[in-house]
Amino acid sequence: MSDTTVEPQRLYRQIAKQIQTLISSGEFAVGSRLPAERDLATQLSVSRPSVREALIAMEVEGIIEVRTGSGIYVKSLGKRGNAKISASNTTLEWGPLEVMRARYLIEAEMAALAAENATAKDLKAMKLALKGMQKEATAGRVPRDSDIAFHMAIANACANSVMLDTLDRYLQARTGHLFERLGDYFESPAAWAAAILEHQEVIQAIEERNPQHARNAMRKHLRQAHKRFSASWRSAPSRS
């Protein structure tokens, strides 16, 4: 196993390339099981979330196969320079867990600003989006669009176009193949039910004009969302 530390720029792609090199060299044969995320993170001197993003990218490329409850297995040698893993700077190629960490920083302050500046129209938009989430979740559908509308309504209440545009870019990343595949594993009805309750706490704090409570409620929501996407593969439902 290489002990070279990976540089931080577009980290998950670099980790994916390192693991793919180990596969191509024969260290991990086709059909064999890869080490656990924790062990890969230690050996490559990177974080577990970054390893997870790399593994998701490799699964999208067909290089590995995730078998929930069993492990992660080498499926093919892959091809060098694969477009989906290598050269792109679009928001669709941002690492999902990196995006969530960035959102934790900016959206907490957005919620605080919204508590100070939200108009009746803004509050109505937030509540309408939340009702949409509840309706879709009850019907067994993934309420992703309503979730995005909820967060954008809060950003709009900040009366700051730069913040609004910034969050819009963050949320665009959710339509990328990495986010979608991660969601296949960890966006469950229980996860969405928890998110809806967390959203209700955010709205309540904004409606009460309490910036600190709004900040804390948003931090709690995004911290829990990150935790849900970082859960053990063994807790993910089977996709078979």
Give residue-wise pLDDT tens across range 26-82: 889 999 999 998 999 998 899 888 899 999 999 998 999 988 878 899 998 876 544
Q: Are 208 and 171 within one domain?
A: yes
Mean pLDDT of the 170-190 span: 89
Stretch (H or E) spanning 71: strand 71-74
Q: Are 152 and 226 within one domain?
A: yes
On whether the CB atoms of residues 106 and 61 are closer than 8 A, the answer is: no
Q: Are 141 and 225 within one domain?
A: yes
User: Which is higher by pLDDT, 206 or 38?
Assistant: 206
Residues in a beta bridge with 74: 64
The answer to the question of residue 6 being in a domain is no
User: What is the domain range of residue 199?
Assistant: 91-233
User: Which is higher by pLDDT, 156 or 43?
Assistant: 156
- Token output for 106: 């900016």
The answer to the question of residue 84 being in a domain is no
How far apart CA 136 and CA 22 sit, in angstroms, is 43
Q: Are 119 and 214 within one domain?
A: yes
Give the pLDDT band of residue 8 (cuts 50, 70, 90): very low
The answer to the question of residue 239 being in a domain is no
Q: Are 148 and 109 within one domain?
A: yes
- Other Cβ atoms less than 10 A from the Cβ of 217: the count is 24
Q: Are 98 and 216 within one domain?
A: yes
- Token output for 25: 């060299």
The answer to the question of residue 83 being in a domain is no
- Token output for 69: 């409850």
How far apart CA 8 and CA 45 sit, in angstroms, is 11
Q: Are 66 and 129 within one domain?
A: no
Q: Are 210 and 107 within one domain?
A: yes
Q: Are 68 and 135 within one domain?
A: no
This prediction has a pTM of: 0.82
